[in-house]
Structure 1
Amino acid sequence: MSVVGYQYAVDNLCPACTIGRLRANGIKVARGRDHEEAVRRAAEQVGIDFSDEHTYDSSSFPKAITRQMARTELIELPNGEPGEIADERCDRCGKWLRLGEKSPTKAGLTRWVRDEHELPQALAREIAETLREWGLSHPAFIDESNVKEAAAQHPHAWLSYRFVDYPSSTETKPIHEPDDTDDECLYCGQAWQAQQHQTA
């Protein structure tokens, strides 16, 4: 099982922050080694049986977090829906343990939402902020349904596309009022009637 981080006292830490915390606590950790080997050797120096986590407490020495163990419960999803991310962040530096990187800034997430889903800047900004509030702060954990659900939380212009002279042409043009009231908005996935009720 691949180790992606460590539980040390009350914190979940990435490998680099774990080694930094060990050194800050006066425990020597070899440089230039794989983090698993380095932590294991550090454990031997202080008389810890690192292979048996039941023989020591995380307050005295780090315990391994494997890829399978890294989980973040999402508690802010709309309508109280249960949710989970198969990763968790380092409590010191903010990196996701499995991804090995931080979430983008607010501006970075807004750009990703705008470009990936072809949204107006103002709506993308509101969607990005809502996604962050839900705990979905990294593109790796965001799918199209999340973006549309977030879009439905904010007033916006209805948009769809209509074929021009179909089937003789595959050209499309944007439309802001539907041919049918059941037509869905590309931004939020809501039908015309539902969106008009939501924005009224």
Structure 2
Amino acid sequence: MPENAPEGSIIAPLMIADKIYADHIASNAITSAKIAAGAVTADKINVTQLSAITSDVGVLHAGDYVDIGDGVLPDGSDGIYIKNGKFMVKNPDGEVVIDGTKNMLRIFLSGYVLLPPKTENNGINRIYFEGLGFRPAFLFYSAIGAAKYPVFYWTATGDVGEVAAVFDGVAEMRNYDSTPKMVRIILFEEMVF
């Protein structure tokens, strides 16, 4: 050991003999600037939480079918894109609410409509939209008070309640009562998995 080397110093003969051990290196002595690019491999990383490693990855690829990040959606916007796969969502109770195997409904139109009394325009009001190329499903209910599904029924005094039908390009609602009714209508497109 050279005379001017402090006790425990790493000297050339130790380097050549591959005799440098962790106890020869002072705490915090090696900084990131002293580590060669690509020198730290995955098998040398051990963290208890992934949040200990940070990076702006841009796009994260999980296998061949899942992309997460900048511009991954077909329209070029950011998000999560799953190709030829499925996803599952559970609520806080651990119940599966979306399992990725059943068809889902996408809302494409919703709104409130005031239906006139049956004495005005036969109680009819309509919402027009462009032809869809598919047969939509719909939900239709009273928008006043507690939500209830309207029921059309016949009595000895005549027809009562509200009804709705959806055709290509128009949703038609009819009020059979003598007072105006505010209703909510939601139209859906079935999305097939």
Q: TM-score, normalised by structure 2?
A: 0.28
Whose strand fraction is larger, Structure 1's or Structure 2's? Answer: 2
Which protein shows a greater Rg? 2
- Structure number with greater CO (CA < 8 Å, separation at least 6) is 2
Whose helix fraction is larger, Structure 1's or Structure 2's? Answer: 1
Q: TM-score, normalised by structure 1?
A: 0.27
